[in-house]
Amino acid sequence: MVLTPARPRRMWGVTDQPSANLYVPMIAIVQEIIDETPDTKTFRLAFEDKEYAKSFEWEPGQFVEVTVFGAGEAPIGFASDPNERSFFEITVVERGKVTRAMHALKKGDKVGIRGPFGNCWPLEDMKGKNVLIVSGGCGLAPLRPAILQILANRKEYGNFLLLYGARTPADRNYKYDLDAWAKRDDMQVLETVDVGDESWKGNVGVVTTLFDKVKVDGENTVALTCGPPIMIKFVTLELLKMGFSADRIVTSQERYMKCGVGKCGHCCINHVYLCTEGPVFTYAQMKELFELKL
Amino acid sequence: MKKDYSILKKSDVPAFFASLANEMQLIGPKQLFSGDVTFDVIQSHKDIYWDYGHVVYPPKRFLLPHFEDMFRYTCDQEIKIEPTCNPQPQAIVGIRSCDVAAIRFQENFFSYPIVDPYYKEHLNNTVLFNLVCNTPPKKECFCICCDSGPWLESGFDVQLTDLGDRFLYEVGSDKGEKATEPRAYMLLPATPADIEARRQIELQADSRFQTVSYVAKAINFISADEVPAKIWEDLGSTCFRCGACTNLCPVCTCFTVDDREESDGTFTRCRSWDSCQYAGFTREASGHNPRPTFGSRVARRFYHKTSYQYIIRDGRHGCVGCGRCITACLTKLGLPDVVKRIRREMHEFLPPKEKAAEV
């Protein structure tokens, strides 16, 4: 089996350009704000233009450029169920100027949205295989649509295992989801934290320490990973040891981005513009790019 | 469109460009009070400084401005977005072949696979009057090694060759033909002797270059990532991170985007030139920088300029041999020097057996 994260059906500037100018955003309204961790919030957004909202489609793994008016623009991955068409969610960690301004938004405020951009997780190609998801911190956000999509079509996939690591118990994203998923009998969820506290009864250590606790058939499983670069490196090395072939380790890469359409040059890795040809790559593809060498 | 040679007598040049200036803004080489020559808006055809040789500052800013407003918006009561792109027709007169080649490279980059509306608008409104270099090239020039000069086979709208008291006038595109038509009465048919005179200029051009850069071998090493990190780190250790190389490079296109507050309370989204030589170019919001060392950023620049992967992607390598990176760099990190250094040092790095095979 050869997995290739495919070009999605719709991508702003290629197939789905609502205005004459692909740099001009569409207006969306903040419907709800969910506090995830002390520095992370999830925003539920819906387009002001109802006609456009109806035609707005995206796939797990893609991202949007979010404008906070008066502050600037930042690329953020989709974090909600792709089948839910009346709204979409993005999860934002407070880090820079734009994300700080985003955290100051209130319900009813308006933001600008350009997108969807990028390619998607190869969920179609993965059908019939076991799925292993390894995620760290807010790296769970771009994987959440994939998890929800797999759960919606649960019969088409084999064993489903999620390994999730956070810095502290308070830093767990989507606590409500993790708790609900852990109760399901058609998927297995294992969690760890780097630093525990009195309330934490689970594993303590980096996410790779969870690998000893599970049995994974390296031959017949596809691994999706997303998290800090250092985590991706060690997870990939562990997966290779477990017998995963390079084309069955799939990662979402993160880079500084400005335009989203492969022009500004910031996200370029070797000759590949991550915003149009990524952000999802298999390890086999990453090996071709020297700058992603492990 | 038929390719045709005509003659524009130098005595008719003022009338020709004065008439063109009625239809569009003229951009051309202009001598400043300091004596330097730079591309600027030409108010009177007399300001066009034809014998300028080569300018340090490329005319790329007339198509990709340093700061370009993308749209304006208000966000106090309701959000109102107004796109601001409104380029005026312009003719860049006296542009050199290397810069025309660079503009064609940028055109390709900005129109494939996704079209950048701003660059497209600017280019659609621009006519390029290329001036063949038949004076001795500057000592830094090496366009002959990069297939981008001293004359061009295609890519120009109009190409002028200086034949003493007259210009050989070549139309190379529909846009060029359209700009010529209203003034076609000033052109005379070219004689075989004129075309022969131009051929002689072409034949003599090769021997005039002082700088040559044998990029082929360096392309091999860089494309295969065989250049040891130590060489890049050595090169990077001398870099001043000033970004002059990327700012003066007529091929470089990277930009950043910012929102700026205006005095009237509205905001403007503006894009401005950026450089892969700056540490902040790839630094993410989390603080992680995928290209943390000076060497890795210098490697990035030369990978973009010369790798096969980019040649396949963009149709040619990303250097037009204008030599501006040599003039600009305080520490000799221009393309020919880096290529020379890679070729030499790689030879030293090779084990003796392979070295013998190499010879």
Helix (H) or strand (E) holding A240: helix A229-241
In degrees and rounded to multiples of 5, residue B2 shows phi and psi of: -95, 140
User: Chain B within 8 Å of A171 (Cβ-Cβ)?
Assistant: no
Residue B174 structure tokens = 């529909």
CB contact under 8 A, B117 and A27: no
pLDDT at B223: 87
Q: Average pLDDT in the B107-126 region?
A: 90
**Tokens (6 digits) for A130:** 């076991």
> Using CA atoms, how far apart are residues A17 and A11, in angstroms rounded to an integer?
8
Task: Enter the tokens of residue B100.
Answer: 């025309």
Give the whole-number percent of chain B exceeding pLDDT 70: 96
The two most distant CA atoms of chain B are separated, in Å, by: 75
Q: Which residues pair with A33 in a beta bridge?
A: A43
How far apart (Å, rounded) are the C-alpha atoms in residues B200 and A86?
70
A72: chain B residues, CB-CB within 8 Å: 257-259
Q: What is the mean pLDDT of residues B100-129?
A: 91
3-state secondary structure of A246: helix
Q: Do B117 and A21 count as a contact with CB atoms less than 8 A apart?
A: yes
Q: What is the pLDDT averaged over residues A76-88?
A: 92
Report ipTM for this prediction.
Answer: 0.89
Give the closest-approach CA distance of B302 to chain A in angstroms: 11
Q: How far apart are CA B305 and CA B324, in angstroms?
A: 14
- pLDDT, one tens digit per residue, over B346-359 is 776 665 555 555 54
Residue B113 in contact with partner chain A when CB distance is under 8 A: yes
- To test the contact with chain A by mutation, choose from B68, B79, B251 the residue with the greatest count of A C-beta atoms within 10 A, namely B79
B106 pLDDT above the threshold of 90: yes
- Closest partner residue to A270 (CB to CB) among B116, B267, B303 is B303
SS3 A7: coil
Q: State residue B3's pLDDT score.
A: 62
* pLDDT greater than 80 at residue A9: no
Lowest mean pLDDT, pick from A87-91, B141-145, B156-160: B141-145
In this predicted model, what pLDDT tens digit does every residue of A94-130 receive, in sequence order? 998 999 999 999 999 999 999 899 999 999 889 899 9
d(CA B95, CA B90): 13
Cβ proximity of B30 and B217 under 8 Å: no
B181 contact partners, CB below 8 Å, separation of at least 6: none
Q: How confident is the model at residue B221 (pLDDT cuts 50, 70, 90)?
A: confident
pLDDT, residue A169, reads: 92
What pLDDT, on the 0 to 100 scale, is given for residue A16?
58
Distance CA B284, CA A267 (A): 10
What does the pLDDT read at residue A20? 65
Structure tokens of A221?
């499983």
User: What's the CA gap between B101 and B237, in Å, rounded?
Assistant: 32
Q: Which residues pair with A22 in a beta bridge?
A: none
All residues of chain A having their beta carbon less than 8 Å from the beta carbon of residue B73 are 69
**Mean per-residue pLDDT over chain B, rounded:** 87
Report how far residue A203's alpha carbon sits from residue A209's, in angstroms, rounded to the nearest whole number. Answer: 8
pLDDT of residue B148: 86
**For chain B, how far is it from start to end, CA to CA, in angstroms?**
49
A269: helix, coil or strand?
Answer: strand
Determine the Cα angle at A255 with ends A251 and A258, to 5°.
135
- Predicted local confidence at residue A293, as pLDDT: 77
Q: For residue B118, is it left (φ>0), alpha (ψ between -120 and 50) or beta? A: alpha
For the stretch B310-344, what's the b/e string if a residue is b when 16 or more beta carbons lie within 10 angstroms of its beta carbon?
beeebebbbbbbbbbbbbbbeeebbbbbbbbbbbe
CB contact under 8 A, B285 and A74: yes
For the segment A155-166, the average pLDDT, to the nearest whole number, is: 93
B254 Cβ under 8 Å from any chain A Cβ: yes
Please report the pLDDT score of residue A215 as a whole number: 86
From B305's Cα to the closest Cα of chain A, the distance in A is 11
The two tokens of residue B64 are 């990709």
pLDDT digits (tens, 9 = 90+) for A184-225: 999 999 999 999 888 888 899 999 999 888 888 888 899 999
Interface of A with B in 16-75 (CB under 8 A): 20-25, 27, 67, 69-74
How many inter-chain contacts (A to B, CB under 8 Å) are there? 111
Q: What tens digit of pLDDT does each residue of A256-275 get?
A: 999 988 899 999 998 899 99
Q: Looking at the complex, does the CB of residue A104 fall below 8 Å from at least one CB of chain B?
A: no
Q: What is the pLDDT of residue B359?
A: 46
Whether B269 and chain A come into contact, CB under 8 Å, resolves to yes
Output the average pLDDT for chain A: 89
CB contact under 8 A, A266 and B256: yes
Q: What is the DSSP letter of A3?
A: -
Residue of A14, A21, A231, A277 to mutate, interface with B, max B Cβ within 10 Å = A21
For the segment B33-81, what is each residue's pLDDT rounded down to a tens digit? Answer: 888 889 999 888 788 888 887 888 899 999 999 999 999 999 887 888 8
Q: Is the pLDDT of residue A164 over 80?
A: yes
Test B274 with A265 for CB contact under 8 angstroms.
yes
Q: How far is B257 from chain A (nearest CA, A)?
A: 6
* B332 confidence band (pLDDT: 50, 70, 90): confident
Q: Does A108 touch chain B (CB under 8 A)?
A: no
B204 pLDDT tier (thresholds 50, 70, 90) = confident
Distance from CA of A27 to the nearest CA of B (A): 8
> What pLDDT is attached to residue B53?
79
Average pLDDT over residues A46-75: 91
Structure tokens at A194: 């780097």
- Given a cut of 90, whether residue B147 has pLDDT beyond it is no
Rounded CA-CA distance A241/A249 in Å is: 12
Between these two residues, B113 and B66, which has the higher pLDDT value? Answer: B66
Are residues B285 and A71, on separate chains, in Cβ contact within 8 Å? Answer: no
* pLDDT tens column, A133-142: 999 989 999 9
Instruction: Judge: A21–B85 Cβ closer than 8 Å, yes or no.
Output: yes
A266 to chain B: which residues are within 8 Å by CB? 254, 256, 274, 281-282
More confident residue, B238 or A4: B238
In SS3 terms, chain B reads as CCCCEEEEEHHHHHHHHHHHHCCCEEEEEEECCCCCEEEEEECCHHHCCCCCCCCCCCHHHHCCCCEEEEEEEECCCCCEEEECCCCCCEEEEEEEHHHHHHHHHHHHHHHCCCCCHHHHHHHHCEEEEEECCCCCCCCCCCHHHCCCCCCCCCCCCEEEEECCCEEEEEECCHHHHHHHHHHHHHCEECCHHHHHHHHHHHHHHHHHCCCCCCHHHHHHHHHCCCCCHHHHHHHHHCCCCCCHHHHHCCCCCCEEEEEEECCCCCEEEEEEECCCCCHHHCCCCCCCCCCCCHHHHHHHHHHHHHCHHHHHHHCCCCCCCCCHHHHHCCCCCCHHHHHHHHHHHHHHHCCHHHHHHHC
